[in-house]
């Protein structure tokens, strides 16, 4: 962060987003740090709005879809830890903006967005919607042959099962994961 002003805008924006994501779990009880996380995200948002996506020779992207997704994940972290429905609603709004800005060439991001959506629904105790989003993520993980994506869906399934082990949509997700025949 100390040298971020010296690097290309795409890298700088990603540094801000990663910094906010890394600090978010520790910022739940610290208003100053929470504000700093929001400032970093605002700086990344400003860079994404000011500059069109450009190829800077790296594999990094800085676009509105990614910025809004990171904001949604941070708000989800804050909302879960504080039990704050307003923060969860703001996270939903950010995720909706992320989906709107998503371009078709970023299939892998669709997986991440679906996982975040499932976590948001789980945080709001919307088990059916969470299981549905997890199934979408599982389909994308299979399509891309992403073992990590499948493992994340498995973890979501286990959390859903803890909430309601008899919920039909949760059980169907288990079938989709191949846990039941």
CA 107 to chain CA mean position, Å: 14
Alpha carbon distance 55, 60 (integer Å): 8
* pLDDT at res. 179: 87
pLDDT, averaged across the chain: 90
Would the pLDDT of 166 be above 80?
yes
* pLDDT at res. 52: 57
- Answering whether pTM is above 0.95, one says no
Would the pLDDT of 2 be above 90?
no
Alpha carbon distance 142, 137 (integer Å): 9
Q: How many CB atoms lie within 10 A of CB 1?
A: 10
Would the pLDDT of 50 be above 90?
no
- 57 conformational bin, left if phi > 0, alpha if psi -120 to 50, beta if neither: left
- Reference 120, options 157, 73, 160; nearest CA is 73
Per-residue pLDDT tens for 107-141?
Answer: 889 999 999 999 999 999 999 999 999 999 999 99
Per-residue pLDDT tens for 53-75?
Answer: 555 555 677 888 989 999 999 99
Of 34-38, 62-66, 93-97, least confident by mean pLDDT is: 62-66
- Reference 137, options 113, 161, 158; nearest CA is 113
The residue-averaged pLDDT of 154-164 equals 96
Of 5-9, 29-33, 167-171, least confident by mean pLDDT is: 5-9
Q: How many CB atoms lie within 10 A of CB 54?
A: 11
Q: Is the dihedral of CA 53, 93, 108, 41 positive or negative?
A: positive
Contact 149, 133 (CB under 8 A): no
Q: How many CB atoms lie within 10 A of CB 30?
A: 12
Q: Is the dihedral of CA 102, 108, 113, 118 positive or negative?
A: positive
């Amino acid at each position: 962060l100390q040298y971020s002003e010296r690097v290309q805008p795409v890298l700088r924006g990603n540094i801000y987003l990663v910094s906010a994501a890394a600090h978010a779990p520790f910022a739940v009880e610290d208003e100053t740090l929470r504000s700093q996380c929001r400032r970093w995200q605002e700086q990344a948002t400003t860079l994404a709005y000011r500059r069109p996506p450009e190829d800077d020779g790296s594999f990094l992207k800085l676009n509105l879809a990614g910025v809004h997704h990171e904001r949604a994940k941070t708000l989800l972290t804050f909302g879960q830890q504080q039990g704050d429905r307003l923060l969860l609603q703001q996270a939903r709004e950010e995720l909706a903006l992320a989906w709107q800005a998503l371009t078709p060439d970023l299939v892998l991001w669709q997986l991440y967005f679906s996982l975040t959506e499932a976590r948001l629904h789980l945080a709001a105790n919307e088990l059916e919607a969470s299981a549905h989003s997890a199934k979408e993520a599982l389909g994308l993980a299979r399509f891309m042959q992403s073992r990590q994506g499948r493992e994340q869906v498995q973890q979501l399934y286990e959390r859903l099962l803890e909430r309601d082990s008899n919920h039909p949509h949760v059980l169907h997700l288990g079938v989709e994961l191949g846990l039941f025949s």
